[in-house]
């Protein structure tokens, strides 16, 4: 999103990503297909978080009143992915760096 003139394209691509094809068709509406095949959904949940943050930015820049709802959704997803500091400290104690522990 280097230019506001491309804002409409960004919105269209994000809508396609979530609704039309990529995520819902590949992973299932609640990631049940992904969980069945892969057994975990962690890195894909991070993709959803990134997508919703980008959606919030595009909503804000276009003056959309739905910005708050998208930010709330992204915040909930972030909270689900956030690691407790105790767990990170335990992993660091095993010899991993802060970045690797996260």
The domain segmentation of the chain, as residue ranges, is 4-101
| pLDDT of 1 | 47
The stretch 77-95 carries a mean pLDDT of 84
pLDDT 10s digits, 29-77: 666 665 566 666 567 777 778 878 888 888 888 888 888 888 888 888 8
* pTM given for the model: 0.60
Distance between CA 91 and CA 12 in Å, rounded? Answer: 41
The stretch 67-95 carries a mean pLDDT of 85
28 vs 58 pLDDT, higher one: 58
Question: 102: Cβ–Cβ under 8 A, 6 or more apart, which residues?
Answer: 83, 88
90 vs 18 pLDDT, higher one: 90
59 vs 12 pLDDT, higher one: 59
DSSP for 44-79 reads: HHHHHHHHHHHHHHHHHHTT-TTHHHHHHHHHHHHH
| pLDDT of 33 | 63
């Amino acid at each position: 999103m280097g230019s506001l003139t491309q804002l409409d394209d960004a919105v269209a691509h994000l809508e396609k990503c979530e609704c039309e094809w990529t995520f819902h068709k590949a992973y299932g509406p609640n990631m049940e297909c992904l969980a069945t095949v892969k057994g975990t959904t962690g890195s894909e949940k991070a993709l959803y978080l990134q997508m919703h943050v980008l959606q919030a930015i595009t909503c804000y820049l276009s003056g959309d009143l739905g910005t708050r709802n998208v930010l709330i959704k992204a915040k909930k997803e972030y909270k689900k992915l956030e690691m407790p500091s105790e767990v990170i400290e335990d992993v660091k104690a095993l010899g991993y760096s802060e970045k690797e522990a996260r």
